[in-house]
């Protein structure tokens, strides 16, 4: 997608690989600074995933696939067994970086599986990089198709609520929840977006709002606890969110606060859609109760970062009393019964086991 520089507009993907180096847009610096990080080995890429320099289901999936490819290219070449052992140990490390997003595990297992299947050192190295690139390309293409399938749901003049960031920064390109909005704008529709701020990491306020600004889409950032009131006032026509993992029965794990939005939408009879590529589905999870929910550092809640106009720098400040502690679940699970439909690259389905099984055949 496009990024407006001082004197030009450039096209970027969120993550890509050049030689042995994985390059990512450093989301920690946005919206104050646009920076590209060079990650020179699989451990650096893994730490970027863990530290949320790159985030979003598809983006960390692609980064994880590239990280396994880096490991394959770095692996010792004295024997196939030594090479494979190195790749397998790297895969285990990469899987440990974030526990909830299915795309990460999908990408790691797929690249590792290819490396295992070729039975030669050179084959393992070359095939790992090739498959990692395929995963990234497939993610971008899937998200473009999600936009095409979801766009007809959006009527001219619609006011849409979204939560967290499920735009192109969260995937390799185009995004999931925001992709239909981009497509609607391309087709000349007038669209307005309410951007939930998404405490505690503020992905909505910092990332989604930045994306929409780049694309010239009208929007307003709202406090997370305002959405129900807007729905009650009739100011929200639909809700579209992304997903980090979708269970076999249609339950959806997504950024903390998604469940609240879904319940409020159901009570207020507002359509609630989830947008995700098929790589986000995990049929090994029978229901949402089987999904591992990441718990992150309490510091993300106790402190907040922002740009200080006086010092002209990004600063971190404590917003709670000394001695207070925080609970910080990063995700929640929205039951399938609260979901109007799931927008995928293959079309829109209902959040039910039979529909998901048919989709994944």
The residues annotated as belonging to the active site are 244
* CA distances (Å), origin 225, targets 153, 230, 231, 257, 324: 26, 10, 12, 9, 22
In 260-330, the DSSP E strands lie at: 272-275, 281-282, 303-308, 313-318
Contact 326, 247 (CB under 8 A): no
* CA gap 226, 204 in Å, rounded: 14
d(CA 271, CA 261): 11
Q: How far apart are CA 39 and CA 25, in angstroms?
A: 11
341: helix, strand or coil = strand
Of the candidates 302, 300, 297, the residue with the CA atom closest to the CA atom of residue 325? 302
Helix then strand then coil, in percent of the chain rounded to 5, is 45, 20, 35
């Amino acid at each position: 997608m496009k990024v407006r520089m001082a004197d030009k507009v450039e096209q970027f993907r969120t993550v890509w690989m050049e030689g042995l180096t994985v390059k990512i847009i450093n989301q920690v610096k946005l919206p104050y600074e646009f920076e590209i990080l060079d990650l020179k080995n699989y451990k650096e890429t893994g730490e970027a995933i863990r530290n949320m320099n790159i985030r979003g289901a598809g983006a960390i999936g692609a980064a994880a696939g590239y990280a396994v490819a880096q490991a394959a290219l770095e692996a010792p070449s004295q024997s196939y067994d030594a090479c494979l052992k190195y790749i397998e140990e790297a895969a285990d490390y990469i899987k440990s970086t974030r526990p909830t997003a299915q795309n990460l595990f999908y990408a790691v297992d797929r690249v590792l599986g290819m490396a295992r299947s070729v039975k030669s050192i050179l084959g393992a190295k070359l095939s790992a990089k090739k498959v990692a690139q395929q995963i990234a390309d497939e993610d971008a293409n899937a998200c473009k198709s999600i936009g095409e399938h979801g766009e007809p749901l959006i009527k001219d003049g619609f006011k849409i609520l979204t939560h967290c960031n499920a735009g192109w920064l969260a995937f390799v390109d185009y995004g999931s929840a925001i992709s239909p909005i981009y497509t609607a704008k391309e087709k000349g529709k007038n669209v307005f977006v309410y951007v939930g701020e998404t405490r505690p990491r503020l992905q909505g306020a910092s990332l989604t709002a930045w994306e929409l600004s780049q694309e010239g889409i009208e929007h307003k950032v709202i406090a997370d606890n305002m959405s129900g009131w807007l729905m009650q006032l009739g100011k929200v026509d639909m809700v579209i969110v992304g997903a980090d993992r979708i269970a076999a029965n249609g339950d959806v794990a997504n950024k903390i606060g998604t469940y609240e939005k879904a319940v409020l939408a159901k009570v207020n009879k507002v359509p609630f859609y989830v947008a995700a590529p098929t790589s986000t589905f995990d049929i090994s999870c029978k229901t949402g109760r089987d999904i591992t929910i990441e718990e992150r550092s309490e510091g993300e809640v106790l402190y907040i970062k922002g740009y200080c106009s006086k010092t002209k720098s990004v600063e971190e400040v404590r917003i709670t009393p000394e001695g207070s502690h925080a609970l910080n679940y990063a995700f929640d699970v929205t039951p399938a019964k609260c979901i109007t439909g799931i927008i995928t690259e293959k079309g829109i389905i209902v959040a039910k086991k039979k529909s998901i099984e048919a989709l994944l055949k």
